Chains A and B, each alone.
Chain A
Amino acid sequence: MTAIAMADTAGAADPVVRVVALGRTYRTENSVVQALDNVSLEIGRGEFLSILGPSGCGKSTLLNVLAGFDRQTSGVAEFEGRPIPGPSPKRGVVFQDTNALFPWMTVEQNVEFGLRSLGMSRAERRERAAQALALVNLRDFASSYPRQLSGGMRQLVAIARVVVMDADLLLMDEPFAALDAITRQRMQRQLVEIWEKTRSSIMFITHSIDEAIYLGDRVAIMSARPGRIREILDVDLPRPRDLASAEFNALRGRALTHLDHH
């Protein structure tokens, strides 16, 4: 409940992310692709924002701009009131690919990797990594290599390695898309628990309507070619949410009409 209250008030006053009239075009040899066109949105402090859209709608481009991997061609993208200079541990990314962990490091080494740049002692790093692994319930697998873990567990480690950095913003690029439906549901529940404990802001990209509504305080619906935000839905449902409830179903219907539009 508090999360929803926060999202309602925080959005305007003190946003973590502010995007105004953002555009990104790609030039190929004989065409210009408008990946993002006039996208504006804010992510409030502690807010969980889902971005829902079909493939090719530019949602990954938006994430890459916020992560600092890519640059907009027009408009403003600000994090904590400043332009985004490049990748930073303050904006942790969880990729869709379950092979994004460093396979030559153990789970613990993967989670500790970023802490080195924060100038922590070895003991401190170990302690923090252990806490982060406990948060995702993977403490017992600290000395395993990524290849020994299932896809879902790898994504949890990928979450742990950015949560451990005390990231203010988690950028999640369809992190559960490669997982089977049952694992996916379990991961969604677990992500909500993690978010409720860490209180960081999350931008979660997905093309699953249910996932977007189940997770988000708000759901921004995007359309493709050019990538635009069509509608932003408020999800005023208490967590954990019931996918079979009438309210959920109503939101699902609203999301569908906006997706169908084009």
Chain B
Amino acid sequence: MSLHVTAPPFVSSMTDRMSIRVSRLARRSIAPIVVVVLWQLAVDYLNFGGGFVPSPYEVVKTLAIWIFGLGSNDRFAGAWLDAASASAQRVAIGFAAAAVVGLIMGTMIARSAVAADIFDPILQVLRPIPVSAWVPFSMVFFGIGPAAAISLVALGAFFPVVLNTVAGVRHVSELHLRSAKMLGAGPARSLMRVVLPSALPSIFVGLRLAMGLSWVLLIVAEMVAVKSGLGYELWNAYYYNRMDLIVASMLTIGTLGYISDRIILAVSAHFLRWRETTDI
């Protein structure tokens, strides 16, 4: 009786693996470094952007002032943490609300024909409308303020969650459902221990898409409907003609977006550790 263990790694020794990692990191660093260097040179010597494009050095300096203040009397000096945490909070709340409602509604639609007949037409009508088109109404309903941004994030994140939950729950194997019944599991236990776990890979695909969309909609909403946060800072910087601050905002948003994606991936890797492969 032999256990199928994962195949021994092709590269055996620890140091070999380390050196491969390092060389891979070096290779992956080439393109970004080249871009930054060319960008700096183009701004310094070729007047790239005609004064409207900041150099990487200027961006880093602005970002440092924005984050740490550094004794600067710029309007935004030291205000980074407030803006970043305001934005992150809005994404977190909107995303969480969408995830909960999307999961519950998606499960209902997939499990009950009645629920599907009730909710599906509304979803089909609303889905093709870009969520950014809801900006005016989010302001009408919630006024100028965080609630407008949160509602937009929630609406945008809802669709990928609900659709992928429906797909995942519908694809539960008949074999697993029969197994659960034959082992005496009732509907509730079958749902929690069989249907949802088996739908989890698809649900996580939805959550990941939703997180990406959340940041897009947050920035749109903050540019128009909120007087704080990264999107507001970005749009405000445009009025002050501070392109360096705009790039610094873009970098901040990108970094937070990346971190939130990694968090979802880490959570998903934990819950899906029973799977052969995790799609990244």
Contact = CB atoms under 8 A, between A and B. Distances in A.
B184 A100 contact: no
B178 to A, nearest CB: 6
Interface in A73-119: 86-89, 91-93, 95, 97, 99-105, 113-114, 116-118
Main secondary structure of the interface of A (DSSP, over half): loop
B183 A150 contact: no
Interface in B178-194: 178-186, 189, 193-194
A249 interface: no
A172 to B, nearest CB: 12
Contacts, number: 85
B278 interface: no
Nearest to B189: A116
Contacts of A117: 183-186, 189
B274 A104 contact: yes
Contacts of B274: 103-105, 145-147
B173 to A, nearest CB: 7
Given A87-B178, A93-B178, A95-B175, A148 B5 contact: yes
Which 9 A-B pairs rank lowest in CB-CB distance, beginning with the nearest?
Answer: A117-B184, A114-B183, A87-B181, A104-B197, A89-B184, A87-B182, A104-B274, A145-B274, A100-B175
A18 interface: no
Nearest to B182: A87
A165 B179 CA distance: 13
Interface of A: 67-69, 86-89, 91-93, 95, 97, 99-105, 113-114, 116-118, 137, 141, 144-150, 152-153, 161-162, 165
B184 A118 contact: yes
Contacts of B173: 99
Given A148-B3, A150-B2, A104 B198 contact: yes
18 contacts: A67-B178, A86-B181, A93-B179, A99-B173, A99-B175, A100-B175, A102-B176, A102-B193, A104-B197, A113-B185, A137-B1, A144-B3, A145-B274, A148-B4, A149-B3, A150-B2, A150-B4, A161-B183
B4 A102 contact: no
A93 B182 contact: yes
A88 to B, nearest CB: 7
A105 B189 CA distance: 14
A89 B173 CA distance: 19
Interface size class of B (residues with CB under 8 A): 20 to 34
Identify the interface centre among A68, A86, A103: most chain B CB within 10 Å of its CB. Answer: A103
B184 A114 contact: yes
A152 B198 CA distance: 23
B193 A113 contact: yes
Given A104-B197, A113-B185, 18 more contacts: A67-B178, A69-B178, A87-B181, A88-B184, A89-B183, A92-B183, A100-B175, A101-B179, A102-B176, A117-B183, A117-B185, A137-B1, A144-B3, A147-B274, A148-B4, A162-B183, A165-B183, A165-B184
